[in-house]
Structure 1
Amino acid sequence: MTTILMGYNQALLSSAQLFIREDLGLSDAQIEVLAGSINVFMLASILAAGWAADVLARRGTLVLANVSLMAGELANGARRQLPRAHARAMLFTSVYNAEISPPSMRGFLSSFLDMFISVGLLLSYVSNYAFAGFCGVLAMPESPRWLVMCGRHAEARAEIKQQANADDGGGGSVWKELLVRPSASVRRILICVVGVHFFQQASGIDAIVLYSPLVFRQAGMLSNMAALGATVGVGVVKMCFVLVAALFSDSLGRRPLLLTSAAGVVASMAALGAALSSAGSAASVAATVASVLAFMAAFSVGLGPLAGTYNAEVMPLRLRAQGTSLGMVVNRLTSALVSMTFISLADAITMPGCFFLYAGVAAAACVFVYARMPETRGRSLEDMDELFAK
């Protein structure tokens, strides 16, 4: 439910902005600020959530996030609560899931987080009816690795006690170990975590999620209803292809799916730019819709679900909460940059130019994944230090 609500609220503005623009007379700059400001509001909460996850435990932090989400929805308009709740939810659904999943199924189970976000996106596209809930999280077991880290050995899985205790014995400041004096393996892990989160957002996902109705109108669709109807197809495709990632991430591995995803984003973004370059005809409208759907399929098979999976599984236990926070800060800052500049950038270099630019970023992502990100499929969380020390 946590991730469904995240997706629902993320996409709510996509449809609403068409009517906000008409009813309130907001300028393009104001629409951009409105679309991107939620990411800025998240930042303080993201950094604090790393501390909260170690003090309140993984499950306790999820409960807090769900309470905030429900309170924000019930307030129906007091939106200031939602960015903080989304930040906590985005961080520790992935951490919790990685820590409780066996290596052979970790990719499959972690990918379902993005599946539920996609369900939320689809619900938001289909209707504006909001719902919230949090009681289910109270029945969840606590992360066994967190239990071991706190000394509650009798409640944790026996096979991870020894390494988890060793991880907990490092001492010193977590942030100092992350940022001031990182070891060679931690430095390499940080590069991968920061890079994959940057490329996930810089490849243009929020330009599609938030502004797809505007893109469809630019292509030549004549009504808001037609543009909003096309966004339903975007939500359906996203949900279906996240399932593909869930089914194959443990058998094929993270790297093949990430590389395939990034290559698909390059091709679909370039096709979208080309389609918009000849906007106005029925053929260009069809090509635009097909390109957006192809982008969403390519993104959802790798970059979408696996960035969070990779982040949560490669960080050492002693650094996992704060390291995940750091990766999410980069994610949200990049998301804010894309969502708060898309319309202005389209005015400066044209909308086709925007999508050609995102295609170039995705090409750089291909190179980054190939050169910097080792395969993690089938490895235990305790083996990651050794993997990144090579």
Structure 2
Amino acid sequence: MAGGKGEEKGMSDLADKRIADFEPFKKPKRNKYALVCATLASMTSILLGYDIGVMSGASLYIKKQMKLSDLKVGLLNGCLSIYCLLGSAAAGRTSDWIGRRYTIVVAGAIFFAGALLMGCSSNYPFLMIGRFVAGIGVGYALMIAPVYTAEVSPASTRGFLTSFPEIFINVGILLGYVSNYGFSKLPLNLGWRFMLGIGAIPSVFLAFVVLAMPESPRWLVMQGRLGAAKLVLDKTSDSKEESELRLSDIKDAAGIPQDCNDDVVPVQRANRSHGEGVWKDLFIRPSPAVRRILIAGIGIHFFQQSSGIDAVVLYSPRIFQKAGINSVNLRLLATVAVGFVKTMFILVATFFLDRVGRRPLLLSSVGGMIFSLAALGTALTIIDHFHHQEWAVVLSLLMVLSYVAFFSIGMGPITWVYSSEIFPLRLRAQGCSIAVAVNRVVSGVISITFLSLSDAITTGGAFYLFAAIALVAWVFFYTFLPETRGRTLEQMDGLFGDFSWRESLHKKSSNNCTKQEADSNGKSNSDGQIQLGSTGSANG
């Protein structure tokens, strides 16, 4: 009888643990240490945001002083996104080799040099060299900020914390717009130099910020430094039990036996952690789950940029000019409004990522973007054909603000959140670097070609094209991206491995209780299946 009671108690404890796994959405007290770590790491994203924002205004004055063609202006604005490819590709290997934390220092140092070169440029070629150096630094920052943040965040607030890089991109854009307006009163040959050169200041701050940050616990485990990883996990988890569970999951993902509790794992095991074989696992012989993860990660980054956000942010003064706002000061002031709205709505989004989930926010966001782009295209087309129409000017301004607002509540932050959490541990750094590379290529193409595209099919026609791309994006997201809210990073492989999640959604929901009982023996592959059923219930 006593044995029966003991067995019953054990089953009850196990059931309690399973129920805890099923209910990750109950908000625990927010981990302040993880919050600080995520904030400090995400500040590297200011580098990209500032450059995007400041170039929208600085390029007007550079064009005037250097007498540049629209093609050269497009290259000046868009080349940094192309140069980011080298930085993001190198950052994947660098972060696997020297760690996530010191990769942030590398990002800041490179951008510092690039900002100084741009501010001191005497001609167009010199300016392009500065853009090249700054682009490498931005590429490093774009890749490392979401990866580090995802790896230190507990599952309960990972969506909230991994949206921080997008927040700081928007803060950087707003600072760039304000810098444009503030320095626009200076003489022509000085104003744009101050606009660009002052961007070196945030990168200096980052060098000191990194001293207060711990290393990523997942990177430490990959190096075999289990003791150091456990200390970080204890500080960044919501409870002692969660810390132990996260360490156990990371060991499994790294191929380290659970009974290995030494502070340093044998060297031959740790040698696997410097990125060897990653490209084969991603491209040559990927598992079905990894293939789907790669498509999802690349797809969400592709559609984020191809739906036209950089065209709006970089060329908003020109868009407002096309809409009929002729004063340069008023156009720059309107761009400040764009930056303000974009920043405010990204702050709103962060508080819903872990409450509402990724899919509902993403689909709602893209739906609003489709409407805003179509309406903006219509307003600009009317202005082209019937010249100055006050209501169309107002509609154009409102639709630009509406577009960036809808982008910021979903597409903007979720792209970085989603791609940073779905890749398996061993493939995460380089998988994210590939996704960021796609992001930057598409951004560069849009930035470079927008002016030529507008001349070819009109500005209104360009926004109709972006609306059509956003519609395709909505269909892709609806059919291909499962909900990841509440999962640990180590459970993503199982989620994407069962790609019939949409077809079997209701069946898994109805059989949920049966599966809990059947899997109570604790088999290693049971958690992914049970939690997938739980997700189906939540999404359905």
Partner of 1:137: 210
RCO greater where, 1 or 2, for CA within 8 Å and sep 6 or more? 1
Q: Specify the code of the residue in structure 2 equivalent to 1:151.
A: G
Q: Specify the code of the residue in structure 2 equivalent to 1:34.
A: L
> Out of 23, 26, 40, which is 2:65 matched to?
23
Task: Summarize deviations over 1:226-259 as a string: whole Å, max 9, x none.
Answer: 1111000000011011011100000000001110
Q: 1:100–1:143: 8 Å Cα contact kept in structure 2? A: yes
Larger mean Cα displacement after TM superposition, 228-237 or 61-70: 61-70
Task: Summarize deviations over 1:84-103 as a string: whole Å, max 9, x none.
Answer: 11011110100000011111
Partner of 1:163: 249
Q: Distance in 2 between matches of 1:46 and 1:284?
A: 41
Q: 2:79–2:131: 8 Å Cα contact kept in structure 1? A: no
Task: Summarize deviations over 1:295-326 as a string: whole Å, max 9, x none.
Answer: 00000011111101100100000000000011
User: How big is the alpha-carbon RMSD for the aligned residues of Structure 1 and Structure 2?
Assistant: 1.4
Q: 1:63–1:137: 8 Å Cα contact kept in structure 2? A: yes
Q: Distance in 1 between matches of 2:88 and 2:160?
A: 25
Q: 1:112–1:242: 8 Å Cα contact kept in structure 2? A: no
Partner of 1:149: 222
Partner of 1:234: 338
SS at match of 2:46: helix
SS at match of 2:370: helix
Partner of 2:149: 97
Q: 2:56–2:313: 8 Å Cα contact kept in structure 1? A: yes
SS at match of 2:163: helix
Shift of 1:337: 1.2
Partner of 1:39: 81
Shift of 1:48: 1.4
Partner of 1:183: 287
Task: Summarize deviations over 1:60-108 as a string: whole Å, max 9, x none.
Answer: 1111112222333344344432111101111010000001111110111
**1:326 equivalent in alignment to 2:434:** yes
Q: Specify the code of the residue in structure 1 equivalent to 2:165.
A: L
Partner of 2:104: 62
Larger mean Cα displacement after TM superposition, 73-82 or 311-320: 73-82
Q: Distance in 1 between matches of 2:287 and 2:429?
A: 18
Q: Specify the code of the residue in structure 2 equivalent to 1:321.
A: A
Matches within 5 A, 1:250-265: 250-265=354-369
Partner of 1:87: 139
Q: 1:4–1:120: 8 Å Cα contact kept in structure 2? A: yes
Q: Specify the code of the residue in structure 1 equivalent to 2:478.
A: Y
Partner of 2:495: 387
* TM-score normalised by L of structure 1: 0.97
SS at match of 2:351: helix
Task: Summarize deviations over 1:141-194 as a string: whole Å, max 9, x none.
Answer: 111111111111001133333332332239661000001111000011011001
**Distance change (3 Å), C-alpha of 1:74 and 1:37:** closer
SS at match of 2:315: helix
Partner of 2:297: 193
SS at match of 1:302: helix
Q: Distance in 2 between matches of 1:333 and 1:6?
A: 14
Q: 1:145–1:160: 8 Å Cα contact kept in structure 2? A: no
Task: Summarize deviations over 1:338-388 as a string: whole Å, max 9, x none.
Answer: 111111111111110000000011111111111000000011001001101
Q: 2:293–2:422: 8 Å Cα contact kept in structure 1? A: yes
Task: Summarize deviations over 1:127-147 as a string: whole Å, max 9, x none.
Answer: 135332211122111111111
Q: 1:36–1:335: 8 Å Cα contact kept in structure 2? A: yes
Q: Distance in 2 between matches of 1:175 and 1:368?
A: 25
Q: 1:18–1:224: 8 Å Cα contact kept in structure 2? A: no
Counting aligned pairs with the same residue, the percent is 48
> Out of 377, 389, 397, which is 1:273 matched to?
377
**1:206 equivalent in alignment to 2:310:** yes
Q: Distance in 2 between matches of 1:81 and 1:196?
A: 27
Partner of 1:297: 405
* TM-score normalised by L of structure 2: 0.70
Q: 2:84–2:440: 8 Å Cα contact kept in structure 1? A: yes
Q: Which runs of 5+ in 2 are unaligned?
A: 1-42, 121-129, 180-194, 234-243, 257-271, 499-540
Q: Which runs of 5+ in 1 are unaligned?
A: none
Q: 2:80–2:131: 8 Å Cα contact kept in structure 1? A: no
Q: Distance in 1 between matches of 2:77 and 2:133?
A: 16
Q: Distance in 1 between matches of 2:458 and 2:280?
A: 44
Q: 2:83–2:139: 8 Å Cα contact kept in structure 1? A: no
Q: Distance in 2 between matches of 1:101 and 1:379?
A: 12
Partner of 1:339: 447
Larger mean Cα displacement after TM superposition, 281-290 or 361-370: 281-290
**1:249 equivalent in alignment to 2:353:** yes
Q: Distance in 2 between matches of 1:234 and 1:261?
A: 17
Q: Which has the larger radius of gyration?
A: 2
**1:353 equivalent in alignment to 2:438:** no
Task: State how many pairs are aligned.
Answer: 390
**1:107 equivalent in alignment to 2:159:** yes
Larger mean Cα displacement after TM superposition, 24-33 or 118-127: 24-33
Q: Distance in 2 between matches of 1:2 and 1:389?
A: 33
